[in-house]
Amino acid sequence: MEDLKKLETEIIATIAAMDNLTGLEKLRVWEVGKKGRVSLLMRELGKMTPEEKKQFGPKLNGLKNKIIQAITDQQAALELQELNHRLQSERVDITLPSPSGNQGSIHPITQVMDEVAEIFTELGFSVAEGPEIEEDFYNFTALNIPPEHPARQMHDTFYFPEDSDGNRKLLRTHTSPVQIRTMMSGPPPYRIIVPGRTYRCDSDATHTPMFHQVEALVIDKDIHMGHLKWCIEEFCAKFFEIDDVKIRFRPSYFPFTEPSAEVDIGCAFKDGEILIGEGDDWLEIMGCGMVNPRVLENVNLNPDEYQGFAFGMGLDRIAMLKWGIPDLRDFFTADLRWLKHYGFASLDIPSLSTQRHNWEER
Ligand code: DAH
């Protein structure tokens, strides 16, 4: 067995000298990864006598822990250094007079919300809102997701601590609770969209704990699936600016709609890019269906008299698709370079407004 003290000093010094995160990760794998140096030493324990094991086992474990600690500390230091560097280089002095040229820009999420609202208000919808801190009843129960329903698990809900009545509020996991709030606020007909923030405990390249959805709800007499299909087709053609957009409805399941479907849009994956409206591939963009009669009953509407459809769509996702933005997390890092690249000039006329005169012809 090597001289562990010497090894420790050597490794700790290398870690402290490492000046970048990629190098640090390589070092971690090399030293304490599954096939790393320390793990190989640990394997040698197997060949030792019980006495030697007693002596070396704890020492090796101690060494491993010290290395891991040193790496964690160095990682925190390097991240802080990087953050400070960004804060310095992206500094904006807001007390200075406005520089020549437009500096500010519209965030793609704001742009996508404006475009969606514009398309649906043309179709006769109005915009509704609801709270982001929501009650269980609106987020789940009234939408036909009772407490024991397995769909609750799929929502990765952020709950608040229990209040004095034993109720736990939550961060809404979708915009669907606003369906219930709307239907309870007055008599039908309803024709609303609900753009807004939603929350789930999830994070990777395509999921962030806070994200955006738009919900739609139409309730009236004699509403059928044909209306739903037409609305979605019109929306996709307008939003993606492609007249003969291909969409398909795949049977699916949501507790609040029956029947339910997922909508896929036709696309092609070419050289790592997604091209909407071309090719033979499909990409899911929303969930939809006819409002479940049980949901109507929950808000005291007679399902024999009123029917309707609903759909829900990820706004971040359709923004990524429309403008070819690869990583969802970048939407929320407030990186000035990213905002300059993907942002929209504040005084531009939105492309959809300029097309409005063509609307009747379509
Ligand atoms: N609320 C669903 C979700 O977040 C999406 C959804 C599916 C909304 C179907 C709807 C619908 O209104 O009819 O996953």
144-181 pLDDT, tens digit each: 999 888 878 777 899 999 989 888 999 999 999 999 99
Give the closest residue (by CA) to ligand 1 atom 6.
312
Over residues 85-118, the pLDDT tens digits come to: 988 888 888 898 876 666 778 999 999 999 999 9
Is 177's C-beta closer than 6 angstroms to any atom of ligand 1?
no
CA 315 to CA 111: how far, in whole Å?
A: 10
Distance (Å, rounded) from C-alpha 333 to C-alpha 15? Answer: 28
- The encoded tokens of residue 184 equal 């309870």
Looking at the predicted structure, is the pLDDT value of residue 349 above 80? no
DSSP notation for 43-87? HHGGGS-HHHHHHHHHHHHHHHHHHHHHHHHHHHHHHHHHHHHHH
How far is it, in rounded angstroms, from Cα 224 to Cα 229?
9
Task: Choose between 155 and 30: higher pLDDT.
Answer: 30
Say if residue 357's pLDDT is above 60: no
180 lines ligand 1 (CB under 6 A): no
Ligand 1 atom closest to residue 174's alpha carbon, by position in its atom list: 4
CA 56 to chain centre: 48
193 touches ligand 1 (CB under 6 Å): no
Query: Among 25-39, 67-81, 206-220, where is mean pLDDT lowest?
Result: 25-39
Q: In whole angstroms, give the CA distance from residue 250 to residue 231.
A: 16
Q: Which atom of ligand 1 is nearest to the CA of 217?
A: 12
Helical (H) or strand (E) element with 13: helix 4-17
Q: Which residue has the higher pLDDT, 34 or 259?
A: 259
Q: What pLDDT score was predicted for residue 157?
A: 93
311 lines ligand 1 (CB under 6 A): yes
Task: Give the separation between CA 131 and CA 160, rounded to whole angstroms.
Answer: 14
Q: Are 268 and 251 in contact (CB under 8 A)?
A: no
Distance 201 CA to ligand 1 centre (A): 17
pLDDT at position 5 is 87
Q: Give the residue carrying structure tokens 């952020």.
A: 158
Q: Which residue has the least CA distance to atom 4 on ligand 1? A: 174
Residue 303: both structure tokens together: 């399902």
179, 180, 215, 307, best to mutate for ligand 1 pocket (most atoms within 8 Å of CB) = 215
Stretch among 69-78, 84-93, 174-183, 216-225 having the lowest mean pLDDT: 84-93
* pLDDT band with cut points at 50, 70 and 90 for residue 331: very high
CA of 216 to the centre of ligand 1 (A): 9
Question: Mean pLDDT throughout 67-92?
Answer: 92
Contact 169, 132 (CB under 8 A): no
The reported pLDDT for the residue numbered 235 is: 96
- Judged against a pLDDT cut of 80, whether residue 214 lies above it is answered with yes
pLDDT at position 21: 92
Please give the backbone phi and psi of residue 152, each rounded to the nearest 5 degrees, phi first.
-60, -35
Q: Contact, 22 vs 65, CB < 8 A?
A: no
First to last CA, the chain: 79
pLDDT score for 361 = 41
pLDDT category of residue 360 using cuts at 50, 70 and 90: very low
